[in-house]
Structure 1
């Protein structure tokens, strides 16, 4: 009975947090899911890229959130265009609510000058959501003896809708600034006959790559080491909610590390005594040839911390295919990709 009450509590929380309010998934390794952040990132490596990403949030609670993402994108130099496919599956409240999102992204490169490039992008998605009542029991189902009366069928409800997003990124050799608008068609996500539009989400992304790479030793033919610091900021707002990710990535040869803060410290309070603080995130990773593996953990600093939720774990695998055919070098976006120019 207690377990069922917990499940009911978390389904109500999930509906209010990610259903009726319509808040999107937040990835701590936001650059690990580039097409999710901004469709303009499609083809941004000027190569073919595969991404596998897994997030497990609040694993010690009954209402944990699990998200699995796969994306693939490539670049067509002849057309200065990037094309990407993204598929992700999200489970909320111990699979009480689950969503499947499939989307296609397209971007196009425009050279404003020899050093400044703009990439507008567009994304079209199809979203399917399921609300499963089969494992839940409500008070009206019990008889006077505390048993569940026969005849109740807590089934499933499904909802499908199309989703439209757009974005753009402007970048130079070391600097980039991006803007994205998701769900601009504000689709109706209600499981019943009502109208519950999914609020549009707006996000701003910026960063600067500071290089300390050593020049190769010609006498020993030693390869150049990638040594860099990459401070980044990612601000997004949706409906009445907003948040900022502020931090820095570091790369030293094959080692990757980073940390950042999520929230808006001291600048905004939703109500008296409640600050917009969520978590401190730490990241470590390793890259070898064309493959990069990174792991991050969210240390909760919000009012949820006493609940001992278990924070959040994320792991990302990114693989970049090396093109065998030699082509004219092109200016590549300097955002965190954790690999060398092959």
Structure 2
């Protein structure tokens, strides 16, 4: 636990390592978290609940929760979404709560081509338990005893700040793409006196994917839909590439992702399973760690629940995105 506390400490001192946003493995099961332009991209009203437990063998080391609601507005050209999030880091040393409001506007470019632009604004509350922090200077190298005071001056134990994001997604026939930028105002979250490097780096997310037409598999005559995807994220010096594919067979969904952080060893393999009906969707994923943290992290669990409300219109919705369901 001493190592874990020290790791957290290093993680939140910007002069050593810039902070990173919590990441989900079921990217499309938390759409407005990934890109505000996804707000209102389904005909029915949508409620999504997400839970992620990272490093489960270490207790509740990194746990993240989110709950969102989004809908297509009556004019059929705009979408609105709201989301609340909570992220807890080991031993409750850092707890982050934030709420966002997203607005999107759809532009029809052709019978099978459209684009959606999104804006997002939110408020973040970040709380630090400085009593749980341990510095190397506090540890006796012989006995291992912890003593002494913090070798830094902490100005406050809570930071509250606004946060803003923009995004765009588009679709041409059965191919979709998108790009978003979070933390446009680069808010300052440092609590260390004199620190001038505590600003959150802008996070860039880019994606492209496709949903192939249904086809039959040999004599079984079973219909499948395949959806290959590429997703790239960058925040400060952190870079991540995700390559994945989904397979949909009636109500059942299967998928897998390969995640690489541009290190010597790949970061993880992600396995996904899901079940979907017209008004309900469930997804579960597990991250199998491949990096040097594999002996410590023991992977990650993630669960998503999606509910659709209301009744479909008799009119065909031209600009419905064909994104994967999990």
Note the residue ranges of structure 2 that are not aligned, 5 or more in a row. Answer: 217-221
Deviation at 1:209, TM superposition (A): 0.3
Q: Pick one of 308, 312, 337 that aligns with 2:300.
A: 312
Q: Deviations over 1:11-56 (max 9, x none)?
A: 2244259995021111111111101110000001122100000000
Distance between the aligned counterparts of 1:7 and 1:17, measured in 2?
Answer: 17
Deviation at 1:135, TM superposition (A): 4.4
Judged with a 3 Å threshold, the aligned counterparts in structure 2 of structure 1 residues 59 and 168 are, in CA distance, closer, same or farther, namely: same
Residue 45 (structure 2) pairs with residue 48 (structure 1): yes
Quick check: 2:72–2:80 contact (8 Å CA) kept in 1?
yes
Superposed CA RMSD = 2.9
Quick check: 1:47–1:322 contact (8 Å CA) kept in 2?
yes
Distance between the aligned counterparts of 2:146 and 2:283, measured in 1?
Answer: 49
Q: Pick one of 255, 258, 269 that aligns with 1:261.
A: 258
Distance between the aligned counterparts of 1:207 and 1:17, measured in 2?
Answer: 34
Q: Pick one of 12, 15, 24 that aligns with 2:12.
A: 15
Distance between the aligned counterparts of 1:147 and 1:64, measured in 2?
Answer: 22
Distance between the aligned counterparts of 2:227 and 2:15, measured in 1?
Answer: 31
TM-score normalised per structure 2: 0.86
Quick check: 1:67–1:88 contact (8 Å CA) kept in 2?
yes
Deviation at 1:226, TM superposition (A): 7.1
Deviation at 1:179, TM superposition (A): 0.6
Q: Pick one of 199, 202, 225 that aligns with 2:201.
A: 199
Distance between the aligned counterparts of 2:120 and 2:160, measured in 1?
Answer: 17
Q: Pick one of 217, 227, 232 that aligns with 1:230.
A: 227
Quick check: 2:9–2:133 contact (8 Å CA) kept in 1?
no
Deviation at 1:318, TM superposition (A): 0.7
Deviation at 1:329, TM superposition (A): 3.2
Determine helix, strand or coil for the equivalent of 1:294: strand
Quick check: 1:177–1:207 contact (8 Å CA) kept in 2?
yes
Matching residue of 2:245? 248
Distance between the aligned counterparts of 2:318 and 2:191, measured in 1?
Answer: 47
Deviation at 1:6, TM superposition (A): 3.6
Determine helix, strand or coil for the equivalent of 2:319: coil
Matching residue of 2:219? none
Matching residue of 1:302? 291
Q: Deviations over 1:79-131 (max 9, x none)?
A: 51000001110001221101011000010001112221010100001111001
Note the residue ranges of structure 1 that are not aligned, 5 or more in a row. Answer: 215-224, 269-273
Distance between the aligned counterparts of 2:68 and 2:270, measured in 1?
Answer: 23
Q: Deviations over 1:164-204 (max 9, x none)?
A: 10010111231111010111111111123433111101111
Matching residue of 2:96? 99
Distance between the aligned counterparts of 2:114 and 2:268, measured in 1?
Answer: 34
Matching residue of 1:182? 182
Matching residue of 1:29? 26
Residue 97 (structure 2) pairs with residue 108 (structure 1): no
Deviation at 1:63, TM superposition (A): 7.5
Determine helix, strand or coil for the equivalent of 1:306: helix
Determine helix, strand or coil for the equivalent of 1:68: strand
Distance between the aligned counterparts of 1:137 and 1:256, measured in 2?
Answer: 45
Judged with a 3 Å threshold, the aligned counterparts in structure 2 of structure 1 residues 202 and 244 are, in CA distance, closer, same or farther, namely: same
Q: Deviations over 1:119-178 (max 9, x none)?
A: 010000111100113445677699x9x79799xxx9970001111100101112311110
Matching residue of 2:163? 163
TM-score normalised per structure 1: 0.82
Residue 285 (structure 2) pairs with residue 333 (structure 1): no
Quick check: 1:7–1:63 contact (8 Å CA) kept in 2?
no
Matching residue of 2:68? 71
Determine helix, strand or coil for the equivalent of 1:94: helix
Q: Pick one of 57, 62, 69 that aligns with 1:60.
A: 57
Determine helix, strand or coil for the equivalent of 2:91: coil
Distance between the aligned counterparts of 1:286 and 1:18, measured in 2?
Answer: 44
Deviation at 1:303, TM superposition (A): 1.1
| Number of residue equivalences | 311
